[in-house]
Amino acid sequence: MDHMASSGAGAETVEALMARGAAFLGSRYAILGGAMSWVSERNLVAALSNAGAFGVIACGAMMPERLAEEIEATKRLTSQPFGVNLITMHPRLLELVRVSLDAGVGHIVFAGGIPPGAAIKAAKEGGAKVICFAPALALAKKLVRSGADALVIEGSEAGGHIGPVSLTVLAQEILPYMRDVPVFVAGGIGRGEMLLSYLRMGAAGAQLGTRFVCAVESIAHPNFKKAFIRGAARDALPTTQLDPEFPVIPVRALQNAGGRRFIEHQADVIRRFRAGELTKESAQLDIEHFWAGALRRAVIDGDVENGSVMAGQSVGLVTREQPAAEIIEELLQQARVALMEMQARV
């Protein structure tokens, strides 16, 4: 039976709508704490898992030894399941998979591109479940054929590196046609009502990032948290690209002096290229290197003027610092109330 046909039956609960996703993750709620480089380390990951959600460590550029240490430290803070997010272009990807498996991590999220077959195979043979990002329906199907056990569809509302399509559209393109594996939605979700509506469309659960940055347990610098509390949706914009000949990777972040300097930097590099002072390759590299280390500068050092303050559009819904468990309960409560109101109307 189409699960949507049961609406109005009165028996539908938020927990029931989340059952498939929660069973897949092994957590109480089908809510993933989206991995955020520098932010999603032991403290936030453990706090989210302890609160019934599913924390995910952001491996980022960590080397295998550092990742092993982070996993062990997280295990000391929680007995609940959590995952590891690995960036596919990491030069030691297979070793990172091995380290995660050796530590007993049950779920590996591959981000930043289509994962190599060998990495998916190694993860699955080691007993882990594989979660991949699907940017379109055709790729979603291909990823499932390649062994993905679950998918995340992330809309352009999200913080950090983004694709071009909003979750509103991705969800319509993918959710009705992809029922073989659980699909988690991400991007722009900051309240329970929104979570509920995607669950009722067939999503197995949701992945949130921005909403968790100001958790009390998050180690993000107070300046970083303050920028989130002050920030409005309209301040979280994708990187500006000056010239189609020199593509920049779109990243959604709060506007600051660094972003303005990046535009000037592109203009300067392109001028030097046109004047014959730089080759095309070195000009492109020069543009790409501008943001190196910039997220760390903002998250850890607190330099929110020059660093990269990656944030999604839901930043406008972040109004104060709160314990992770309170954020999770708030989301759940909003979803429950919205569902009850909906049921009362029929």
Ligand X SMILES: Cc1cc2nc3c(=O)[nH]c(=O)nc-3n(C[C@H](O)[C@H](O)[C@H](O)COP(=O)(O)O)c2cc1C
303 binds ligand X (CB under 6 A): no
Please, which residue, 36 or 47, has the CB nearer to ligand X?
A: 36
Query: In this chain, which residue has its C-beta nearest to ligand X?
Result: 209
Q: Which of 12, 18, 37, 55 binds ligand X (CB under 6 A)?
A: 37
Please, which residue, 269 or 304, has the CB nearer to ligand X?
A: 304
The radius of gyration computed from the CA coordinates of the chain, to the nearest angstrom, equals 20
Which residues, 204 to 243, sit near ligand X by CB under 6 A?
207-211
115 binds ligand X (CB under 6 A): no
157 binds ligand X (CB under 6 A): yes
256 binds ligand X (CB under 6 A): no
Which residues, 175 to 204, sit near ligand X by CB under 6 A?
186-189
Burial of 214 (0-12, 13-18, 19+ CB in 10 A): buried
Strand bridging mode 129-133 / 150-154: parallel
Q: How many CB atoms lie within 10 A of CB 237?
A: 16
The long-range contacts involving 262-268, CB below 8 angstroms and separated by at least 24 positions, are 262/290, 262/291, 265/290, 266/241, 266/242, 267/242
Do residues 75 and 49 make contact, with C-beta atoms less than 8 angstroms apart? Answer: no
How far is it, in rounded angstroms, from Cα 8 to Cα 133? 32
For residue 152, list its beta bridge partners: 133, 184
**Where does this chain touch ligand X (CB under 6 A) — which range of 32-40, 94-102, 118-126, 323-331?**
32-40
41 binds ligand X (CB under 6 A): no
Nearest-approach distance from CB 100 to ligand X, in angstroms: 15
Q: Which of 21, 64, 115, 160 binds ligand X (CB under 6 A)?
A: 160
Q: Count residues near ligand X (CB under 6 A).
A: 27
Please, which residue, 140 or 269, has the CB nearer to ligand X?
A: 140
Please, which residues have CB within 8 angstroms of residue 292's CB and are 6 or more apart in sequence? none
Please, which residue, 189 or 215, has the CB nearer to ligand X?
A: 189
Query: In sequence order, what E strands does 223-269 have?
Result: 236-238, 251-254
For 208, the 3-state DSSP assignment is strand
Q: Which of 218, 314, 322, 334 binds ligand X (CB under 6 A)?
A: 314
111 binds ligand X (CB under 6 A): yes
Q: Which of 18, 30, 39, 144 binds ligand X (CB under 6 A)?
A: 39
Of 289, 298, 279, 215, the closest CA to residue 249 belongs to 289
Residue ranges in contact with ligand X by CB under 6 A? 34-37, 39, 58, 60, 85, 111, 154, 157-160, 186-189, 207-211, 310-312, 314
